[in-house]
Amino acid sequence: MKTIYPDDSIALHTDLYQINMMKTYWEMGRDDLNAVFEVYFRKMPFKNGYAIFAGLERVVNFLENLSFSDTDIAYLRDLGIYPEAFLDYLSTLKFSCSVRSAVEGELVFNNEPILQVEGPLAQCQLVETAILNIINFQTLIATKAARVKSVVGDDLVMEFGSRRAHEMDAAIWGTRAAYIGGFDATSNVRASKIFGIPASGTHAHSLIQSYMNDYDGFKAYALTHKDCVFLVDTYDTLKSGVPAAIKVADEMGDKINFLGVRIDSGDMAYISKKVRKQLDEAGYPNAKIYASNDLDEATILNLKMQRAKIDVWGVGTKLITAFDQPALGAVYKLVSIEDEDGNMMDTIKLSNNAEKVSTPGKKQVWRITGKSDGKSEGDYITLWDEDPRLEKELFMFHPVHTFINKYVRDFDARPILQEIFKNGQRVYELPDLVQIKKTACNNLDSLWEEYKRDLNPQQYPVDLSTNCWNHKMDSIQAVRRSVQEM
């Protein structure tokens, strides 16, 4: 019979193979070797020109609470594959790694480290799954949200996705990521309570259906609420919904704030123009038109092109499920490991595809901006102990097509990976969510327009320092030699 374990700690939020590798490391006396792993993704999500990093707060929560509970150990014992001494080792395990990461709201790009974990090999291995789980999802949704925000401009955009999200965690953390990426409010009350995101909402078709007609439904809502946005498309938007909304607004006068109407079906360009006219003619030029119905950045842009008279956008399914690209594909790779003599040995993963060959060694990413205009020149990946701020001139070149290159002078260089944990102790204070949202917005301001456009943006340069590039070439040669010698 299945054993019931009364609690659900998060230490087991990992893949079984991580624990199996931990066992190998532990039995072979390698669990404490110092290791460096880096997180990066290979392709820009949605073919976008940038991604917005999100998820660090949850990663921090996870790492700060990382320890195996009694029932975790009991469960692992019940699997019958781990000896008692190994279970004892797990039960006393305390997170002692150092973590460096991009901060939330930072712009990040493909093929650069966005988070780095350094510490005992076994621990680094254990945390991979949760870190990727969190960063992959939240960064994806923040980026999708930024794409939507880029087309709505100054219009308000509300997150409506909870009912279609991939379960409750995705609704909550996806909403937070959407807020970071530029959304203004959410319909999810719990996300609003937890994170302080403004809550916002209209009403559903069921309210109108329960009264069997628009007028009675709107009237009932108006008698029970000050702020009113009426959903006008249940039966017939132009013949019934909007006239009923106007009638109720007229009757209620100052007793309500008639904020506007929502349309949720039909040709929203055509209908919104007609609705605008009806509202204006009835003396409600300030009543806003809200729209929802499977919206995404492409549909919104198209509706704007058709001069749809929509003021507020509700976006659910296609945002929260990252409909057109359901996974970011970030990976977590070992880049350096201590040998038996205590020296750090950098590691590489080869591939026939040049873009897929990993870059060995512990690295830092520097955002290079022009001193005069603060605009981005590109990202510059160095080995950890290099500091481009000490250089007068940088030679920046494409890591695969090296003939694409430039010299940069009069630049500022800002390190992207910040110290978050030092030997298991958090040294980074988590910023307020509003501050994170502002950071994302300011970062986007410093990015040239050509990287920000929705369709076919220019590829943002992510270059390797000469030292980093030489080190990679030497490592490739060394591996090839050792393979030939076998």
Ligand X SMILES: O=P(O)(O)OC[C@H]1O[C@H](OP(=O)(O)OP(=O)(O)O)[C@H](O)[C@@H]1O
Ligand Y SMILES: O=C(O)c1cccnc1
Ligand Z SMILES: Nc1ncnc2c1ncn2[C@@H]1O[C@H](COP(=O)(O)OP(=O)(O)OP(=O)(O)O)[C@@H](O)[C@H]1O
Q: Which residues bind ligand Z (CB under 6 A)?
A: 265-269, 293-295, 299, 302-303, 306
DSSP 164-175: GSSSHHHHHHHH
- What is the amino acid identity at position 117? V
How many helices (H) and strands (E) the chain has is answered by: 17, 21
| C-beta of 9 vs 265, nearer to ligand X | 265
* Region 263-302 residues binding ligand X, contact defined as CB under 6 A: 264, 292-295
Contacts of 221 (CB under 8 A, 6+ apart): 203, 207, 228, 230
Instruction: Return the one option of ligand Z, ligand Y, ligand X, none that residue 265 interacts with (CB less than 5 to 8 A, by type).
Output: ligand Z
- On the CB side of 76, CA atoms within 13 Å amount to 27
Instruction: Return the one option of ligand Y, ligand X, ligand Z, none that residue 187 interacts with (CB less than 5 to 8 A, by type).
Output: ligand Y
Least CB distance from residue 308 to ligand Z, whole Å? 7
The CB-based long-range contact list for 82-90 (8 Å cut-off, 24+ gap) reads 82/19, 82/23, 86/23, 86/26, 86/27, 89/26, 89/31, 90/19, 90/22
Nearest to ligand X by Cβ — which residue?
A: 316
Residue 194 class from Cβ within 10 Å (0-12 exposed, 13-18 middle, 19+ buried)? middle
Least CB distance from residue 183 to ligand X, whole Å? 12
Least CB distance from residue 114 to ligand Z, whole Å? 33
Least CB distance from residue 237 to ligand Z, whole Å? 10
The answer to whether residue 317 forms part of the interface with ligand X (CB under 6 A) is yes
Instruction: Return the one option of ligand X, ligand Y, ligand Z, none that residue 20 interacts with (CB less than 5 to 8 A, by type).
Output: none
Contact call for residues 101 and 71 (beta carbons, < 8 A) = no
Instruction: Return the one option of ligand X, ligand Z, ligand Y, none that residue 202 interacts with (CB less than 5 to 8 A, by type).
Output: ligand Y
Nearest to ligand Y by Cβ — which residue?
A: 201
| C-beta of 267 vs 445, nearer to ligand Z | 267
- The residue range among 204-212, 237-245, 251-259, 419-427 that interacts with ligand X, by the rule CB under 6 A, is 204-212
- The residue range among 31-39, 126-134, 203-211, 268-276 that interacts with ligand X, by the rule CB under 6 A, is 203-211
User: What is the arrangement of strands in the sheet containing 418-422, beginning at the earlier edge strand?
Assistant: 344-346, 331-338, 34-40, 115-120, 98-101, 418-422, 425-426
Instruction: Return the one option of ligand Y, ligand X, ligand Z, none that residue 315 interacts with (CB less than 5 to 8 A, by type).
Output: ligand X
DSSP 305-344: HTT----EEEE-HHHHTTTT------EEEEEEEE-TTS-E
- What is the amino acid identity at position 10? I
Least CB distance from residue 153 to ligand Y, whole Å? 21
Instruction: Return the one option of ligand Z, ligand Y, ligand X, none that residue 205 interacts with (CB less than 5 to 8 A, by type).
Output: ligand X
Residue with tokens 């030997």: 423
Backbone angles phi, psi at 336, to 5 degrees: -160, 145
Q: How far is CA 304 from CA 152, 193, 310, 313, 464, in A?
A: 8, 33, 8, 11, 40
Residues of this chain that bind ligand Y (CB under 6 A): 160, 187, 201-202, 262, 292, 314, 316
Least CB distance from residue 452 to ligand Z, whole Å? 23
Least CB distance from residue 314 to ligand Y, whole Å? 5
Tokens of 65: 């609470």
| C-beta of 187 vs 465, nearer to ligand Y | 187
| C-beta of 292 vs 382, nearer to ligand Y | 292
Among 74, 204, 212, 404, binds ligand X (CB under 6 A): 204
Least CB distance from residue 317 to ligand Z, whole Å? 9
Instruction: Tell me the per-residue interface mask from 152 to 181 with ligand X, x by CB under 6 A, - otherwise.
Output: --------x--xx-----------------
Nearest to 76 by CA among 287, 449, 85: 85
| C-beta of 160 vs 173, nearer to ligand X | 160
Strand 288-291 to 257-263 pairing: parallel
* Region 223-242 residues binding ligand X, contact defined as CB under 6 A: none
Least CB distance from residue 144 to ligand X, whole Å? 12
| C-beta of 220 vs 441, nearer to ligand X | 220
Q: What distance in Å separates the CA atoms of residue 416 and residue 430, rounded to the nearest whole number?
A: 16
Sign of the CA dihedral with 222 first, then 225, 230, and 236 last = negative
